[in-house]
Structure 1
Amino acid sequence: MSEQPIGNLTVIGVRHHSPACAGLVREAIERLRPAHVLIEGPSDMNDRIGEFLLGHELPVAVFTSVRDGMTARGSWSPFCEYSPEWVALTDGTRAGAEVRFIDLPAWDPAFLTLTNRYADAELRFTQVVADLCRQFGMDNLDSLWDHLAEIEASDTPAAELTERLNTYFDLVRTASDADRAEPAPDEPTSDEIRERYMARWISAALRQSPDRPVLVVCGGFHRPALLRLAASYPYAEWPTPTPIDAESAVSYLVPYSFKRLDAFDGYQSGMPSPEYYQRLWDLGPRAAATALTEEVVQRLRKRKQRVSTADLIAARVTGEGLAAVRGHRHPARADLLDGLVSALVEEALDQPLPWTGRRALAPGTHPAVVEMVAALSGDQVGRLHADTPLPPLVHDAEAELERHGLTGQNSVTLDLTVADERDASRLLHRLRVLRIPGYDRVSGPDPAAEDSTFTEEWRITAEQDRLAALIEAGGYGPTVELAATARLGEHVRSGGGLEVSARALFDAVLCGIEDLSAEVLTALAMSVGGGKEVEPLGEVLAAVLGLWRHDRLLDAQQSATLGTVIVVAVDRLLWLVESAPGSPGSPAQPRRIAAVRAVRDAMRHAASRLGLDPVRALEVMARIADNAEAGADMRGAAFGFGWSLGSPSSDAERTIRAAGTPASLGDWLSGLFALAREQCLQEASVLPVLNDLVTAMTDRDVLVALPALRQAFAYFPPRERETIAGQVLRLYGVEGSARSLVRGGADDPIALARGRELDSHVQAVLEREGLLR
């Protein structure tokens, strides 16, 4: 199949980031001298074509950010020197053609699920690709493409190579259309929407320049459809992009990198191993293989791996031999890599070679293989020309960093009690939230942990991806503060659950962001209100309540945002602790008890200001305290809840005596002491009652009860334990130091318990053998 001109139309179907296809585009422009060069690319950038021609160091990309309410999505259209689209843009301009992008903007709904414009269409149609790989004896699509196009491109006439690639692309498209024909869908696919739009541009170009060539460069998958549609479209005017609010969609050029472009790093690019294809574009296949073999050896030697000259020769010879066996005139990428593995790796491999299928490096990949992949991936990073327009966020970030003296520092320590340094901390936290590389907090207070540290230490480094990250973050807002606010709102509304929402809330405190929108607060309340587990929800409530009550350091005291979380968390916890209180035989669970204590603290400190309902809370806890089916720890905590809030305690002695068996007494006391420790110390009858219960136990009962009792009394700090010890001494009329009872050593309770266990065992043996008189 030839290029099939319609009038003066030539459509070159390409694989994105393919040196072979880039060469075909260059040859066609030189031969045709077209009036128009139309490129599959974002048409909203047509008024800014000049930005592409400023003289950047590639790779670069068009980044488009689209905001929908409080959520954002991004899309990239990357270009490197050997991208057919870049060659069409630059060579077309030099040839005097009118160069235009003709695809829909990335913010169009047709791109809703497409992160990268130049992803492989062929990967969506695995059956036909698998059949071709089987027919040609290739492992995967990348090896098949190298076999069909890249290795033979320099030795194959352009017309012959074009014919070969058109046949390949037509097979892929035919398979796709066949899959779509049955059953027939009601709505056009995103590909069809884009193709109809691109065809309108082609039709307009043909009618505006009827006597001169029009060259179209597009993904090979689209080529058959564009030829068919362009022949029937009557359009004579250039299309206009679908209108959209200018504040919700922005596009900018960003520096890109080979690492981000590499399929082995997760990008569904047209080609993996970008450094290999850059060398192929610059040097040709044989010289590229030689240069990269040497690069791998040098990398391994830098890693202190022994690689001899003989190993280097063996790798080259093996690669050449594999190429010959596989029918290649020159070593292909897989030939080069397989030759290196054969010569340099002696032991068995725990992981499959990544180039046998498009996969990221797996844990346990052989170190030599890691270096091979890294060498062929490359470390090239793009650089924008100094005159490239940048979003306002970049300028705001640079100005703020300079104002706070944070440019060019390796590390900085900030005193959060000083207003200016607290503002600097907030700036750094906002950059962290926006995922700007190079700003890492080494230490500092954590709102969730109620840390009393008043200083922060940050490590500031110069990262090569910093500018790209700032440009990409510019889609969230024009200033660092607004962008971080939007980013945190996105986290809250992401549906990631309570943990994600809580972390976003704490980040908002660290960033000094109080004015979260009503929409975000609603989503935050829904996340908290939808919590299904008592323990994590209790931890969030405790941390938020602590900030709401006390935090002057981070200016979170009496925060309306935190107050909203407290109200919703209390309501949800009251429902959860009553509906799923546990089982009677379950051991005490400190995190669950802490959740009840957090509700108590909210009632004690925030009820009047936030409109909480103490009456409802007391009623819920009273029901739990009287529920025989509830866990002992929850019954004890529920009783302590009411007692600590001033509920009548006249029945405390009776309740404690009825707390349960020796196996559950300690668990019940854990709940009680966690909530009403002070009341138990003040109530004179508590200790005598407990003394009666323990002294009435048998040795075996004591051994059963002791672990839980120790856990319960651990809620008392050392000074209060000494107070309790003094009361015990007075109960038995003993004069002495209470402090000696709370120390370890000969009177260590564990040692005493083990002794009593031994005595009990001896007693049982004596009884069994009839040796007692």
Structure 2
Amino acid sequence: MLLGVRHHGPGSARAVRAALEAYRPQAVLIEGPPEADALVGLAGQEGMRPPVALLAHAVDDPARAGFWPFAEFSPEWVAIRWAAEAGADVRFIDLPAAHTLALRAAAEEAAEEAEEAVEEEAETEAAAVRIDPLAVLARTAGYDDPERWWEDAVEHRAEAEGGDALTPFAALADAMAAIRETYGDGGHTQDPQREAHMRLRVREARKAYERTAVVCGAWHVPALTARTTATADRQLLKGLPKVKVETTWVPWTHRRLARASGYGAGIDSPGWYRHLFSAPDRPVTRWMTKVAGLLREEDFPVSSAHVIEAVRLADTLAAMRGRPLAGLGETTDAVRAVMCDGSDVPLALIQDRLVVGDVLGEVPPDAPAVPLARDLAREQRSLRLKPEALEKELELDLRKDIDAGRSRLLHRLALLGIGWGEPAVARHGKGTFRETWRLRWEPELAVKIAEAGIWGTTVLSAATAKAEDAAVHSDALADVTAVAEQCLLAGLSDALPVVMRVLADRAALDADVAHLAAALPALVRAVRYGDVRGTDSAALGSVARGLASRICVGFPPACVGLDADGAAALRTHMDEVHRAIGLLPEARPSGPAADVTAEAPGADLRERWAGTLRALAERDGAIPGLLRGAATRLLMDDGRIEAEDAARLMGLALSPGTGPAEGAAWIEGFLSGGGMLLVHDERLLALVDGWLAAVPASAFTDVLPLLRRTFAEFEPGVRRSVGELVRRGSSMARRPATASDPGLPGFGTDLDAARADAVLHTVRLLLGTTTTTDLAARPHQDQGDQADD
């Protein structure tokens, strides 16, 4: 008996179950890789919960893998579960994964070797001849939507008319035969080999059993009924490439069943199809109840009356459109009109949560898996971190043992390239003992785990080996320091000796200040925040202090003679080094790295770095203005120089002897920390304003882009305040200069008694010190205020 189905079709699934119950075959043949025959028994265990997928990957290259997904409403899954309950034999009959993966790799290599133009032409031609048989049938029936045609012809027809569930099989077989007479293999070039292997497996089963049932895609039914010889089929399979593969069951998700994910046999609405399969009676009413429940959870005002009216509207729309039952289109239109007040915003939530869904399957613990996957599963259970398809945010308090363990696990997986979690910005608190992660489990992570299995059999050993290898083969010093930071975050103490040795060697040999500056921040973070995780970072601290000392010595010479791009790059390093040295604990180096990171006795790194910045700020034009201005601003922010000294340095940088472009670069560096200085110190603002007014017209267009870029980084409120100060000017600037008051712009030094008296009453009210005399005098004061107004 041949049962041609649509993959992941709930109507086909119900029809398959009915056919198997009626025919009671001794063997059920399923479209799938034969390597999974030994795993089919796991499908009957209680721990197996769809959606799941068969995973096959090449042993020598785990990244070369293939998936065969099954959902609760997949006809193949229904057949497997029926066979497990009935005691029937189950065999997979598709082309072996060993050939499929090898053929795919050969095709990819051929595409890479071909020229780009030829490759694009070949892809275009393949897309032109490859057809979707459901789309052809839908167009023939006068439908513009294949999903709607499938619902009307298969999913709802038997329910509405009470017909025989076996009827669609014969109809689909005839339809596919007509399509294949016209289109051949439809552009699926591997189908002849696949179907030849299917015919061979069917012949074997029919010799061994009296009653067999074949569950496969309806597209293949005409080929399986074709009259061919076993010799001809074997000839088609002769010489196919082959690789050694391993297979297992892995969890899958509804989102990965969706067509939008790129899955070739995908469907648009897996959540809707699951509902149709699990609720065959009154599906529309039950669906509207689910929608109402979801909207209520999101605080939408939805009542029982809404559900009743939505069901009535959906049924009415189905009758008007000539459909046997209301489908997804009718229910969506009814929900939009009745429950969402015509808005598409709640519909996006319904589409994501219900129509597609985030259901994640489960596989039994005894399913075959690489040792790394088993260890990861143990870690997940012990740390109570259950994989979920729906993205969630996890906030960790590293002072707690379980949260610290979760952090180490997530960092180790990230080091191995298993992106289960992604660091996020914490919403509550920014202490060093807090971490926030966004977690989402994707089925493809099973392949990543298999790939990472080459590094070790446990997460800890694999991450340790990967860190050591990454450090040894790193090209830049910054990459080694990044690995060192990852080792501390992940708690890889066994990898630190190798990483430290590589780090010390690279640090001793690398004389490029930019490389040292790029490497320092990650190293300082590791030293600074290692204690909260209970890791020993003393050796890293010695190396970090050694790097900082060398940066202090080599930074000024490295700034000489740079162009604009080089100055911009080094300015970024300057800011990062400044922050890093501010966080670095002050201590003398010790341990095995002391010989390569020697530091002068009693040296204070913060003082040495301040001296370096001061030397840069006071140098002449040999240092780019961008770096001199940035150094001045950092010194001023740290309180190393007063505002008068900053004004003096600004006056020198903006003197007539300095070119306009160099002056604009100095301003850009100085104001890179924000424009509040100009708001609170009108002396600096006047210097900038006076310099800008004196820029020649011929040079103004050259410096304008630099100034626009500088002021664009200010907060809108700061820009507005600076503009108002420039527009109204300063009261001191309008007074004539005297010996005691030179008239420089700035805040007034004298008290304006009239303005102060106007607010005295309000201040006393706020302080609760208002007297009867004040209240008696207040009316006269109000009259005076009104006269002033």
Whether the 8 Å CA contact 1:60–1:383 is kept in 2: the answer is yes
Q: CA, structure 1 residues 96+588, in 2 after alignment: closer, same or farther (shift >3 Å)? A: closer
Q: CA, structure 1 residues 498+313, in 2 after alignment: closer, same or farther (shift >3 Å)? A: farther
- 1:100 Cα deviation after fit: 0.5
2:411 to 423, 429, 451: 429
Q: CA, structure 1 residues 129+485, in 2 after alignment: closer, same or farther (shift >3 Å)? A: farther
The 5 A counterparts of 1:47-62 are: 47-56=38-47, 58-62=49-53
What is the rounded CA distance, in whole Å, between the counterparts of 1:489 and 1:221 in structure 2? 51
Whether the 8 Å CA contact 1:62–1:78 is kept in 2: the answer is yes
The 5 A counterparts of 1:634-649 are: none
Alignment root-mean-square deviation, CA:
6.6
Whether the 8 Å CA contact 1:426–1:510 is kept in 2: the answer is yes
Q: Which residue is equivalent to 2:504? A: none
Whether the 8 Å CA contact 2:138–2:146 is kept in 1: the answer is yes
Q: Which residue is equivalent to 1:87? A: 78
Q: Which residue is equivalent to 2:249? A: 253
Whether the 8 Å CA contact 1:203–1:233 is kept in 2: the answer is no
Post-superposition CA distance 1:1-26 (Å, at most 9, x none): xxxxxxxxx43221111122223323
1:753 to 672, 678, 687: 687
Q: Describe the SS at the equivalent of 1:22.
A: helix
Q: Which residue is equivalent to 2:101? A: 108
Q: Describe the SS at the equivalent of 1:41.
A: coil
- The TM-score normalised by the length of structure 1 is 0.58
What is the rounded CA distance, in whole Å, between the counterparts of 1:583 and 1:176 in structure 2? 62
The 5 A counterparts of 1:446-457 are: 453=432, 455-457=433-435
Q: CA, structure 1 residues 159+57, in 2 after alignment: closer, same or farther (shift >3 Å)? A: closer
Q: Describe the SS at the equivalent of 2:93.
A: strand
The 5 A counterparts of 1:587-598 are: 590-591=571-572
Is 1:473 matched with 2:449?
Answer: yes
The 5 A counterparts of 1:3-152 are: 10-56=1-47, 58-64=49-55, 66=57, 72=63, 75-103=66-94, 104-105=96-97, 108-110=101-103, 125=130, 130=135, 132-152=137-157
Q: CA, structure 1 residues 190+549, in 2 after alignment: closer, same or farther (shift >3 Å)? A: farther
Post-superposition CA distance 1:347-378 (Å, at most 9, x none): 4x5xxxxxxxxxxxxxxx52145236533445
What is the rounded CA distance, in whole Å, between the counterparts of 1:97 and 1:193 in structure 2? 27
| AA of the residue aligned to 1:218 | C
* Unmatched runs of 5 consecutive residues or more in structure 1: 1-9, 115-120, 181-187, 350-364, 445-450, 521-533, 599-604, 613-640, 682-686, 716-742, 764-773
Q: Which moved more, 1:432-441 or 1:148-157?
A: 432-441
What is the rounded CA distance, in whole Å, between the counterparts of 2:483 and 2:176 in structure 1? 47
Q: Describe the SS at the equivalent of 1:78.
A: strand
Q: Which residue is equivalent to 2:176? A: 169
- 1:198 Cα deviation after fit: 2.9
What is the rounded CA distance, in whole Å, between the counterparts of 1:68 and 1:504 in structure 2? 28
Whether the 8 Å CA contact 2:318–2:327 is kept in 1: the answer is yes
1:340 to 332, 335, 343: 335
- 1:71 Cα deviation after fit: 6.5
Q: Describe the SS at the equivalent of 1:222.
A: helix
What is the rounded CA distance, in whole Å, between the counterparts of 1:346 and 1:334 in structure 2? 17
Q: CA, structure 1 residues 190+379, in 2 after alignment: closer, same or farther (shift >3 Å)? A: same
Q: Which residue is equivalent to 1:601? A: none
Q: CA, structure 1 residues 99+124, in 2 after alignment: closer, same or farther (shift >3 Å)? A: farther
Is 1:511 matched with 2:490?
Answer: yes
Q: CA, structure 1 residues 750+440, in 2 after alignment: closer, same or farther (shift >3 Å)? A: closer
Q: Give the percent of matched residue pairs that are identical in Structure 1 and Structure 2.
A: 23
Q: CA, structure 1 residues 548+586, in 2 after alignment: closer, same or farther (shift >3 Å)? A: closer
What is the rounded CA distance, in whole Å, between the counterparts of 1:153 and 1:36 in structure 2? 27
2:215 to 209, 214, 217: 217
Q: Which residue is equivalent to 2:749? A: none
| AA of the residue aligned to 1:105 | A
- 1:297 Cα deviation after fit: 2.5
The 5 A counterparts of 1:651-690 are: 659=622, 665=625
Q: Which residue is equivalent to 1:198? A: 198
Q: CA, structure 1 residues 282+694, in 2 after alignment: closer, same or farther (shift >3 Å)? A: closer
- 1:110 Cα deviation after fit: 4.3
- 1:161 Cα deviation after fit: 1.6
What is the rounded CA distance, in whole Å, between the counterparts of 1:585 and 1:505 in structure 2? 28
Post-superposition CA distance 1:373-403 (Å, at most 9, x none): 5334456554445665665345534655788
Q: Describe the SS at the equivalent of 2:45.
A: coil
Q: CA, structure 1 residues 48+239, in 2 after alignment: closer, same or farther (shift >3 Å)? A: farther
What is the rounded CA distance, in whole Å, between the counterparts of 2:305 and 2:175 in structure 1? 41
1:371 to 350, 355, 367: 350
What is the rounded CA distance, in whole Å, between the counterparts of 2:650 and 2:296 in structure 1? 77
| AA of the residue aligned to 1:481 | L
Q: CA, structure 1 residues 134+501, in 2 after alignment: closer, same or farther (shift >3 Å)? A: farther
Q: Describe the SS at the equivalent of 1:304.
A: coil
- 1:66 Cα deviation after fit: 3.1
- 1:296 Cα deviation after fit: 1.6
The 5 A counterparts of 1:230-629 are: 231-233=229-231, 244=243, 250-263=246-259, 270-284=266-280, 287-347=282-342, 365-371=344-350, 374-377=353-356, 381-385=360-364, 388=367, 391-393=370-372, 395-397=374-376, 413-414=397-398, 425-431=407-413, 453=432, 455-457=433-435, 473=449, 476-477=452-453, 478-484=457-463, 507=486, 510-512=489-491, 540-543=518-521, 582=563, 590-591=571-572
- 1:591 Cα deviation after fit: 2.0
What is the rounded CA distance, in whole Å, between the counterparts of 1:407 and 1:290 in structure 2? 33
Whether the 8 Å CA contact 2:64–2:101 is kept in 1: the answer is no
Q: How many residues were matched structurally?
A: 606
- 1:292 Cα deviation after fit: 0.8
What is the rounded CA distance, in whole Å, between the counterparts of 1:695 and 1:56 in structure 2? 74
Q: Describe the SS at the equivalent of 1:45.
A: helix
* Unmatched runs of 5 consecutive residues or more in structure 2: 108-125, 388-393, 500-512, 580-588, 597-608, 691-728, 736-789
Whether the 8 Å CA contact 1:22–1:87 is kept in 2: the answer is yes
Q: CA, structure 1 residues 304+77, in 2 after alignment: closer, same or farther (shift >3 Å)? A: same
